[in-house]
Amino acid sequence: MPAVLKSTAPFEGQKPGTSGLRKKTRVFMQPGYLENFVQSVFDAIDGAEGKRFVVGGDGRYFNAEAIQTILKMAAANGATEVIVGQGGLLSTPAASHLIRLNGTDGGLILSASHNPGGIDEDFGIKYNISNGGPAPEGVTAKILARTTEIDSYKISDAADMDLTAVGTQVLDQMQVVIVDPVTDYQALMETLFDFNKIRALFAGGFRMRFDAMHAVTGPYATAILEGTLGAPKGTVVNGVPSVDFGKGHPDPNPVWAKTLMDEMFGENAPDFGAASDGDGDRNMIVGAGVYVTPSDSLAVLAANAHLAPGYAKGLAGVARSMPTSAASDRVAEKLGIGSFETPTGWKFFGNLLDAGKVTLCGEESAGTGSDHVREKDGLWAVLLWLNVLAERGLSVQDIRTDHWQTYGRDYYSRHDYEALPVDIANTIMYDLRSQLDTLAGRSVGALTVSGADEFSYLDPVDGSESHQQGIRIFFEGGARAVFRLSGTGTEGATLRVYLQSYVDGSGDLHVETQAALADVIAAASDISGLERTGRDGPDVMT
């Protein structure tokens, strides 16, 4: 057997964060670094012997090399089959689907999501379990424990494989099944949405722009929107994945998808605009002259999902991460279905979806998804919007205004302070934590604090607990500020401040967001002592 046992020592800091292990690419390129983590994954799941996996990534720098390493390690660890996307490409939702469709034991997904790619940028890897979703905390804890004690890894000394053509090959004893990344995913989308209706919408002159941001969704969007639904060529822009995402930042928000925003807010704007991120799980939704916040998008989709064939029977429930606005709770309440508030990170939705407690889930960070896979899914959200637009025959703007008139509006914004010195970020959080019991009743500018706590989650399905998931400050009148530290950053610490206030449907629904939130922004800054960041304001506001 050409399998080689190599000795190694643990690396520092291989702790999986909000979504797997994410580091600078050069860190991953150190000899043995990726191997340590992959072997720790295999060890943490009681070995890979006789198991089947899905492997793919978003095509960023080091994707191709990492896949060769993983294939050789899977073979040396006794796996019987790996399903891999052609050219090493799979979007995160497509990988989740392939795990479920083929009933594999799990999968390894290579991506640093919306972070830039390149030798001096970011890389990442995460393990998904057999339900297709990110490994839950019990599994990531085992992986972490293993990374601290590992002393060897197994790897085949076979040659690199050619992954350019679809078909089955053999690596030692292991089958390597190379699949078209789009085919099965597209087939799933066709079961959920009324493709004929959407085709008719485009045939009627509906205009759309989809910015794939040089990332993995390009081939998916081109095949589905242009190839199948009849959107004109050129609807998809930046549709060819590149290792450095065209030197861009593949994060679909108004800051990083500015070209799309300019077009959507310019003269002769298309009817509908959308973008997705590096690995295709995030989405941005824009209409002519309107940006739909992810929190609002989740709520609008929850209210309208029954218009798409896949959700015609209605929803079991809706889940959102704690920092996401309460807009979807209002829809759930009206529909008389369950609503759930989970910690940040998609892994917390998995149990709720598996137990059939919820159908739709979403996060304020541009993640929306449903029980069709166990990841958020950017293109899925876009197709559901298209299906709703086709059924309702209204503009994005009219759908959103109608929604606000019915449910009220949750003004919402997230302010990020990026790459802060770790000690300053920790001190801000520590000081907030130590004030929690004394804040209620305090007047801060125009607002009065009604309560404060640190969010903990008790998983209603498996009873597991997650603590310290963000500090919440509630104000009289319904406004809220939330503080938490990012678990995905790769440089220093990133402090996220989430701001929200509510007006009912008869209130003023069209105030500029930052202006509407001015009081809660000021109060949040005052209570937390944000001047200690040394910044004049947030680095990114979404």
What's the half-sphere exposure (Cβ side, CA atoms, 13 Å) at 459? 18
Question: Residue 36 binds which entry of ligand G1P, Zn ion, none, with Cβ cut-offs from 5 to 8 Å by kind?
Answer: none
User: Nearest distance from residue 502's CB to ligand G1P, in Å?
Assistant: 21
Beta bridge partners of 123: 23
Q: Rounded to whole angstroms, what are the CA distances from 511 to 282, 298, 498?
A: 27, 21, 18
* Comparison of 283 and 325: residue with beta carbon closer to Zn ion: 283
Amino acid (1-letter code) at residue 261: M
The least CB distance from residue 279 to Zn ion, in Å, is 4
Pick one of 195, 210, 346, 417: the residue that binds ligand G1P (CB under 6 A): 346
Please count the other Cβ atoms lying within 10 Å of the Cβ belonging to residue 47: 12
Residues in contact with ligand G1P, shown as a per-residue x/- string from 300 to 329 under the rule CB under 6 A:
---------------------x--------
- Asked if 365 is part of the footprint of ligand G1P (rule: CB under 6 A), the reply reads yes
| Catalytically active residues, by annotation | 113
Stretch that binds ligand G1P, among 80-88, 217-225, 285-293, 342-350 (CB under 6 A): 342-350
Strand-by-strand arrangement of the 338-342 sheet: 338-342, 317-321, 360-363, 367-370
With CB under 5 to 8 Å by kind, the binding choice for 348 among Zn ion, ligand G1P, none is: none
Region 13-52 residues binding ligand G1P, contact defined as CB under 6 A: 18-19
Instruction: Give the three-class secondary structure for 176.
Output: strand
Task: Examine residue 487 and tell whether it contacts ligand G1P (CB under 6 A).
Answer: yes
Interaction partner, residue 345 (ligand G1P, Zn ion, none; CB < 5-8 Å by kind): ligand G1P
Strand partners, 464: none
Token reading at 139: 């599994």
Per DSSP, the three-state class of 390 is helix
Q: Is 77 in the site for ligand G1P (CB under 6 A)?
A: no
Query: CB 192 → Zn ion: shortest distance, Å?
Result: 20
146 or 320: whose CB is closer to ligand G1P? 320
User: Pairing relation of β-strands 317-321 and 338-342?
Assistant: parallel
* Region binding ligand G1P by CB under 6 A among candidate stretches 338-346, 453-461, 512-520, 524-532: 338-346
- The binder of 279, among ligand G1P, Zn ion, none, by C-beta within 5 to 8 A per type, is Zn ion
Q: DSSP per residue over 114-153, as a string?
A: TS--STTSEEEEEEEETTSSBPPHHHHHHHHHHHTT--EE
Which of 144, 138, 152, 70 minimizes the C-alpha distance to 107? 70
User: Interaction with ligand G1P in 96-125: which residues (CB under 6 A)?
Assistant: 113
- CB 345 to ligand G1P: min, Å: 5
| Nearest to ligand G1P of 226, 363 (CB atom) | 363
Q: Shortest gap between Cβ of 366 and ligand G1P (angstroms)?
A: 8
Taking the C-alpha atoms of residue 532 and residue 424, their distance in angstroms, rounded to an integer, is: 7
Three-state DSSP at 360 gives strand
Q: Which stretch binds ligand G1P (CB under 6 A): 5-13, 259-267, 302-310, 341-349?
A: 341-349
Tokens encoding 281 = 């799980």
Three-state SS at 295 = helix
Residues 299/407, Cβ–Cβ less than 8 Å? yes
277 binds, among Zn ion, ligand G1P, none (CB under 5 to 8 A by kind): Zn ion
483 in contact with ligand G1P (CB under 6 A): no
154 sits near ligand G1P (criterion: CB under 6 A): no
Assign 254 to helix, strand or coil: coil
Gap between the terminal Cα atoms of the chain: 53
CB of residue 346 to ligand G1P, shortest distance in Å: 5
* Distance in angstroms (rounded) separating the CA atoms of residues 199 and 186: 15
- Give the count of residues interacting with ligand G1P (CB under 6 A): 15
Residue closer to ligand G1P by CB (options 18, 276) is 18
Question: Looking at beta carbons only, is 275 or 473 nearer to Zn ion?
Answer: 275
Q: In what order do the strands lie in the sheet with 540-541?
A: 443-444, 447-454, 471-475, 480-485, 493-503, 409-420, 540-541
Q: Figure out which of the listed residues 78, 133, 250, 345 binds ligand G1P, where binding follows CB under 6 A.
A: 345
Single residue of 363, 371, 375, 459 touching ligand G1P by CB under 6 A: 363
Residue 368 structure tokens = 């929306």
Q: Residues 366 to 395: which contact ligand G1P by CB under 6 A?
A: 367
Residues that bind ligand G1P (CB under 6 A): 18-19, 113, 321, 344-346, 363, 365, 367, 486-489, 496
